């Protein structure tokens, strides 16, 4: 499939400027500014609690779903600030997809219905297109061959890696421009992880992908650009090969060579 | 040195120990190679054939060092997936080991020549050769030190020293040429002496490699091969063609 | 090997504790068993088709359960119809939309309190509001409303629990796909919480079956010779009938009462069993 899934806006990537965010009195992100390029994979690494998940959740405005959460700054997808005054976060989330750490397919739905759930939930499913959508999404998520004969089986009967790919298919079925992945392989074994990393490599031709990971080797393997966050600050953001062979900042060097006590 | 402080900061002390072991082995190997150069020079200058014969054993040790270090580095790469400066350290250790081993071979070559030369009376008084020997020993030592201690200035100094070595080689070449022209009986020994000097000049080149690798490892720019391009650019004088590259 | 030898470790403490726990389980079971046995002894013989078909009578042998049985069935149905949607709806609001404000905490505490209020007080409430103020009189509707109020807190608490048990990451998945809260609740959360909500509701309803005091206060008839013909009709219920028979001096009526208790227990157990079956079916569908 070569049709571009990116609206023209997003061709220039995601531009984050002076992003601050936190929960109540606790500030988690401090003045983050970076430009995430389109059609590539950007990894976000850093020690626990550095704010990487928060940052990614600010990109689809899920951070603010928690009661005490606050955020200010600007995040532009292309030309438009997603924190603009007349932006509906619900509609935004239909263009910025998210895959979570623990695979979470809907247990009461079949594989088929899981893939379609994004459209069904939001009342946008055109019944005549359903089969086509299901097949395309599962093919794109590298799961079609494994499940094409049992689309009506329950979503929860799959292995961990398959479930995660099902969740990816579910996100792809709504045709987002950006795909956010919050530690997508943490709960998976090495083979499943490798399959998903390979999938990410294929997907990046059409989507801007941001992947949060605490596994540095995964960031090194799977991404084009890497951002290193430490205690809410962006310490370094550069090409992956440079960050892991010759980082500019001493703190980056210390983190990736394991000098953090 | 400050390196000790950094070693302590590794969260995984097992990994730190493995890095340390590679460093120690590298230093040991370099020390052995340096010693071999000294022995090689002594076997020439002091006409000491016994020392020349010990060279083979020393070389065997150095070869074993190469095998051991290669294995250690490979294992570290596989098991620890080192990053950034650690990665550069391991990769360049592997490269330096190759150069060190080549230097050791050249030292053995010198010792072979020593055995031949010592059977005959001395051709000239050896002045340039010991001088070259001292220089290249220092270069090897400094290059390794620069690598281990991340001293970029020291590394650059080594590269500059190579010019001196090349100059000395050229002087010796002219001298030997003159000596050989005086009397054809001198030719046999003259060629050996010139070979010894050439080997020393080669050791100097390998030491320059060591220094360049140190520079890249420390995080400077890739200065490898720059020297040669620079030479060609700056030394365009056609007159200096006594140098015959073998 | 001596370090692992079986005799090394003293097991007396463990055994004593186990025995104590076993005792704690057996005692109430034994008491319950004794109660059931006693009732069965007295009443089992009295149960026959006539007993179930007859109207109450001054003569013990001719007295039957029909109006009260039918009344109980109507009452429970109406109560369920009123309480379940209301309770589930309240739970959805509190759980999904209520947030963690001080107000919602207050509401939560008060609902828990309400669940513990003696049922006779609900009876008084029902008398005042439904029977008198709303003008329903001593009708089936008034009784059902009162019972509905009684079991509402239980349903709300059970439903909230069921809603809470739906994993948060499923809601996150919905929001991530760009669904609204309502779409999420209706299409994902509620279907998954349904087994829990239903189970809780059915158990609450089965408790209502046995409630006597509020029905007495609200005016259920103790002697009724016709079947209820509509929600506004006077009515009776099993517990009322049993209570009535127990208070008669005639020995024979005690037999009737025991028989009535058995019928009541059987009804209650059937409903509970139905709850378990339904839950198991729904659970299997969801995993």
Structure token pair of residue B113 = 């020549």
- Our CA-based measurement puts residue A252 at a distance from the nearest CA of chain B, in whole angstroms, of 9
In angstroms, rounded to a whole number, what is the distance separating the alpha carbons of residues C56 and C247?
14
- Our CA-based measurement puts residue A223 at a distance from the nearest CA of chain C, in whole angstroms, of 23
Domain limits, CATH 3.40.50.300, in chain A: 7-94+179-184+210-261
Residues of chain A found within 8 Å of residue B86, distances taken between Cβ atoms: 257
Nearest to B43 by CA among B116, B104, B134: B116
A103 in helix, strand or coil?
Answer: coil
Distances (CA, A) of B37 to B16, B30, B147, B154, C137: 32, 11, 20, 21, 117
Which helix (H) or strand (E) element contains residue A29?
A: strand A26-36
Count how many pairs of residues, chain A against chain C, have C-beta atoms within 8 Å.
74
pLDDT for the residue B233: 34
**What is B2-234's CATH superfamily?**
Phosphate transport system protein phou homolog 2; domain 2 (1.20.58.220)
Provide the 8-state DSSP code for C128: I
Pair A174, A50: CB distance under 8 Å? no
What is the CB neighbour count within 10 angstroms for residue C15? 10
pLDDT for the residue B1: 37
In angstroms, rounded to a whole number, what is the distance separating the alpha carbons of residues B194 and B191?
5
With respect to residue C5, please indicate whether it lies within any of the assigned structural domains.
no
Residues of chain C falling short of pLDDT 50: none
With respect to residue C13, please indicate whether it lies within any of the assigned structural domains.
no
What is the CB neighbour count within 10 angstroms for residue B78? 8
CB contact under 8 A, C169 and A100: yes
Distances (CA, A) of C9 to B80, B189, C4, C12: 44, 89, 9, 9
More confident residue, B140 or C231: B140
pLDDT for the residue B229: 40
Chains adjacent to C (≥3 CB pairs closer than 8 angstroms): A
In angstroms, rounded to a whole number, what is the distance separating the alpha carbons of residues A181 and A179?
6
Structure token pair of residue C194 = 């349904």
CB contact under 8 A, C178 and A107: no
Residues of chain A found within 8 Å of residue B88, distances taken between Cβ atoms: 245-246
With respect to residue C103, please indicate whether it lies within any of the assigned structural domains.
yes
CB contact under 8 A, A118 and C180: no
pLDDT for the residue A11: 66
- Our CA-based measurement puts residue A216 at a distance from the nearest CA of chain B, in whole angstroms, of 9
Distances (CA, A) of A37 to A201, A249, B166: 15, 22, 51
For residue C10, how many C-alpha atoms fall within 13 Å in the half-sphere facing its CB? 3
**Phi and psi angles of residue A246, each rounded to the nearest 5 degrees, phi first:** -145, 70
Q: What count of residues does chain C have? A: 287
- Interface check C173 vs A, CB under 8 A: yes
Q: What pTM does this model have?
A: 0.80
CB contact under 8 A, A100 and C174: no
Distances (CA, A) of C247 to C59, C163, C241: 15, 44, 10
A236 in helix, strand or coil?
Answer: strand
What percent of chain A clears pLDDT 70, i.e. is strictly above it?
A: 95
Structure token pair of residue A172 = 């792809």
For residue A212, how many C-alpha atoms fall within 13 Å in the half-sphere facing its CB? 23
Residue of A nearest to C173 (CA): A104
- pLDDT reading at A5 higher than 50: no
Tens digits of residue pLDDT in B15-48: 999 999 999 999 999 999 999 999 999 999 999 9
Residue of A nearest to C179 (CA): A122
CATH number, domain with residue C128:
1.10.3720.10
The residues that bridge with A43 in the sheet, in sequence order, are A211, A226
Distances (CA, A) of C193 to C90, C189, C190, C282: 14, 6, 5, 10
Q: At what angle do helices B128-149 and B187-218 cross, to 10 degrees?
A: 20
The stretch A97-107 carries a mean pLDDT of: 94
Nearest to A108 by CA among C202, C197, C275, C189: C189
- Interface check C102 vs A, CB under 8 A: no
Residue of B nearest to A256 (CA): B83
The stretch A103-122 carries a mean pLDDT of: 93
Nearest to A13 by CA among A71, A64, A55, A59: A59
In angstroms, rounded to a whole number, what is the distance separating the alpha carbons of residues A221 and B204?
39
Residue of A nearest to C182 (CA): A121
Q: CB-CB: which of A220, A246, A261 is closest to B11?
A: A261
Contacts of B189 (CB under 8 A, 6+ apart): B117, B120, B123
Domain span including residue C265: 66-286
- Interface check A260 vs B, CB under 8 A: yes
- pLDDT reading at B228 higher than 60: no
Tens digits of residue pLDDT in A144-179: 999 999 999 887 679 999 999 999 999 999 999 999
In angstroms, rounded to a whole number, what is the distance separating the alpha carbons of residues C124 and C121?
5
The stretch A33-41 carries a mean pLDDT of: 94
The 3 state secondary structure assigned to B58-105 is HHHHHHHHHHHHHHHHHHHHHHHCCCHHHHHHHHHHHHHHHHHHHHHH
Pairing state of beta strands A178-182 and A208-212? parallel
- pLDDT reading at B155 higher than 90: yes
In angstroms, rounded to a whole number, what is the distance separating the alpha carbons of residues A73 and C54?
78
- Interface check C11 vs A, CB under 8 A: no
Query: Which positions in chain A have a beta carbon within 8 angstroms of at least one beta carbon in chain C?
Result: 60, 62, 65, 67, 90-95, 97-100, 102, 104, 106-108, 117-118, 120-123, 154, 156, 167, 170-171, 174
Residue of C nearest to A174 (CA): C177
Q: Dihedral sign for Cα B2, B6, B7, B8, please.
A: positive
Residues of chain C found within 8 Å of residue A171, distances taken between Cβ atoms: 176-177
**Overall domain count for chain C:** 1
Residues of chain A found within 8 Å of residue B12, distances taken between Cβ atoms: 258
- Our CA-based measurement puts residue C95 at a distance from the nearest CA of chain A, in whole angstroms, of 14
pLDDT for the residue C287: 55
- pLDDT reading at B159 higher than 90: yes
CB contact under 8 A, B85 and A257: yes
In angstroms, rounded to a whole number, what is the distance separating the alpha carbons of residues A101 and C221?
61
Q: CB-CB: which of C169, C175, C187 is closest to A65?
A: C175
What is the CB neighbour count within 10 angstroms for residue A159? 14
In angstroms, rounded to a whole number, what is the distance separating the alpha carbons of residues B43 and B53?
9
Alpha-helix runs per DSSP H in chain A: 52-59, 89-92, 111-121, 130-140, 144-147, 160-172, 190-203, 216-222, 240-245, 250-256
Pair B209, B99: CB distance under 8 Å? yes
Q: At what angle do helices C190-209 and C251-286 cross, to 10 degrees?
A: 180
A75 in helix, strand or coil?
Answer: strand
Tens digits of residue pLDDT in B57-71: 999 999 999 999 999
Check contact A-B (3+ Cβ pairs < 8 Å).
Answer: yes
Tens digits of residue pLDDT in B74-93: 999 998 899 888 999 999 99
Q: CB-CB: which of A65, A93, A107 is closest to C177?
A: A93
**Residue B164 CB burial class (10 angstroms; 0-12, 13-18, ≥19):** middle
With respect to residue C38, please indicate whether it lies within any of the assigned structural domains.
no
CB contact under 8 A, A107 and C286: yes
A60 in helix, strand or coil?
Answer: coil
Nearest to A208 by CA among A16, A19, A15, A36: A36
In angstroms, rounded to a whole number, what is the distance separating the alpha carbons of residues A10 and A67?
30
Alpha-helix runs per DSSP H in C96-210: 102-116, 119-126, 140-164, 168-176, 181-184, 190-209
In angstroms, rounded to a whole number, what is the distance separating the alpha carbons of residues B20 and B12?
13
Nearest to C218 by CA among C150, C264, C116: C150
Check contact A-C (3+ Cβ pairs < 8 Å).
Answer: yes
Residue of A nearest to B19 (CA): A257
**Residue A90 CB burial class (10 angstroms; 0-12, 13-18, ≥19):** middle
| CATH architecture of the domain with range A7-94+179-184+210-261 | 3-Layer(aba) Sandwich (3.40)
Structure token pair of residue C13 = 């403490």
Mutate to test the interface with A, among B10, B83, B150 (most CBs of A within 10 A): B83
pLDDT for the residue B222: 65
Count how many pairs of residues, chain A against chain B, have C-beta atoms within 8 Å.
38
Pair C167, C178: CB distance under 8 Å? no
């Amino acid at each position: 499939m070569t049709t571009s899934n990116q609206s023209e806006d997003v061709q220039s990537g995601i531009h984050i400027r002076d992003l601050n965010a936190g929960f109540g009195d606790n500030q988690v992100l401090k003045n983050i500014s970076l430009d995430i390029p389109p059609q590539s994979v950007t990894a976000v690494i850093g020690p626990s609690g550095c704010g990487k998940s928060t940052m990614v959740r600010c990109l689809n405005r899920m951070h603010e779903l928690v009661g005490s959460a606050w955020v200010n700054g600007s995040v532009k997808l292309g030309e438009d600030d997603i924190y603009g005054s007349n932006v509906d976060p619900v509609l935004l989330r239909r263009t910025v997809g998210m895959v979570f750490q623990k695979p979470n397919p809907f247990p009461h739905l079949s594989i088929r219905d899981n893939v379609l759930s994004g459209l069904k939930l939001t009342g946008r499913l055109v019944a005549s297109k359903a089969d086509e959508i299901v097949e395309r999404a599962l093919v794109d998520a590298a799961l079609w061959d494994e499940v094409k004969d049992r689309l009506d089986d329950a979503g929860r009967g799959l292995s961990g890696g398959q479930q995660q790919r099902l969740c990816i298919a579910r996100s792809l079925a709504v045709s987002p421009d950006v795909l956010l992945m919050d530690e997508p392989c943490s709960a998976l074994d090495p083979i499943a992880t490798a399959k998903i990393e390979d999938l990410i490599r294929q997907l990046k031709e059409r989507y801007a992908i941001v992947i949060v990971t605490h596994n540095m080797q995964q960031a090194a393997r799977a991404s084009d650009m890497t951002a290193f966050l430490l205690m809410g600050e962006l310490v370094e953001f550069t090409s992956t090969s440079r960050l892991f062979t010759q980082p500019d900042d001493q703190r980056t060097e210390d983190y990736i060579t394991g000098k953090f006590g | 040195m400050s390196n000790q402080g950094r070693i302590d900061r590794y969260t995984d002390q097992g990994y730190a120990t493995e890095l340390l072991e590679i460093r120690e082995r590298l230093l040991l190997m370099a020390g052995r190679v340096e010693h071999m150069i000294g022995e090689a020079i002594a076997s020439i200058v002091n006409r000491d054939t016994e020392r020349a014969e010990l060279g083979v054993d020393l070389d065997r040790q150095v070869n074993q060092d190469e095998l051991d270090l290669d294995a250690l580095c490979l294992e570290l790469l596989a098991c620890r997936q080192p990053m950034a400066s650690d990665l550069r350290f391991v990769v360049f250790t592997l490269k330096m080991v190759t150069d060190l081993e080549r230097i050791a071979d050249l030292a053995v070559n010198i010792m072979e020549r020593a055995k031949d030369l010592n059977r005959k009376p001395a051709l000239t008084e050896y002045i340039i050769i010991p001088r070259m020997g001292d220089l290249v020993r220092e270069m090897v030592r400094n290059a390794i030190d620069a690598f281990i201690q991340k001293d970029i200035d020291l590394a650059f100094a080594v590269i500059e020293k190579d010019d001196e070595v090349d100059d000395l080689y050229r002087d010796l070449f002219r001298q030997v040429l003159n000596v050989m022209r005086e009397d054809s009986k001198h030719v046999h020994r003259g060629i050996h002496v010139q070979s010894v000097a050439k080997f020393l000049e080669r050791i100097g080149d390998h030491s320059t490699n060591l220094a360049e690798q140190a520079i890249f490892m420390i995080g400077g720019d890739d200065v490898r091969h720059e020297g040669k391009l620079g030479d060609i650019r700056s030394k365009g004088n056609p007159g200096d063609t006594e140098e015959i590259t073998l | 090997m001596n370090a692992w030898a079986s005799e090394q470790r003293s097991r007396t403490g463990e055994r004593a504790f186990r025995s104590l726990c076993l005792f704690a389980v057996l005692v109430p079971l034994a008491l319950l068993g004794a109660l059931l046995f006693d009732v069965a002894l007295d009443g089992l013989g009295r149960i026959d088709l006539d007993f179930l078909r007859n109207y109450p009578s001054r003569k013990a042998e001719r007295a039957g359960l029909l109006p009260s049985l039918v009344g109980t069935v109507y009452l429970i149905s109406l109560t369920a119809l009123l309480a379940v949607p209301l309770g589930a709806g309240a739970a959805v609001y509190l759980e999904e939309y209520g947030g963690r404000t001080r107000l919602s905490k207050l509401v939560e505490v008060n609902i828990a309190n309400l669940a513990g209020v003696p049922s006779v007080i609900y009876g008084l409430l029902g008398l005042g509001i439904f029977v008198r103020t709303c003008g329903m009189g001593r009708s089936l509707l008034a009784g059902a409303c009162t019972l509905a109020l009684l079991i509402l807190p239980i349903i709300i608490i059970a439903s909230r629990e069921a809603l809470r048990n739906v994993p948060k990451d499923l809601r996150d998945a919905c929001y991530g796909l760009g669904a609204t809260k309502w779409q999420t609740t209706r299409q994902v959360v509620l279907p998954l919480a349904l087994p829990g909500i239903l189970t809780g509701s059915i158990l609450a309803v089965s408790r209502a079956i046995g409630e006597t005091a509020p029905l007495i206060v609200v005016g259920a008839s103790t002697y009724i010779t016709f079947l209820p013909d509509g929600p506004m009709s006077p009515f009776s219920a099993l517990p009322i009938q049993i209570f009535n028979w127990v208070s008669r001096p005639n020995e024979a009526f005690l037999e009737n009462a025991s028989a009535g208790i058995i019928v009541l227990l059987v009804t209650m157990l059937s409903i509970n069993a139905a709850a378990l079956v339904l839950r198991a079916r729904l659970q299997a569908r969801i995993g």
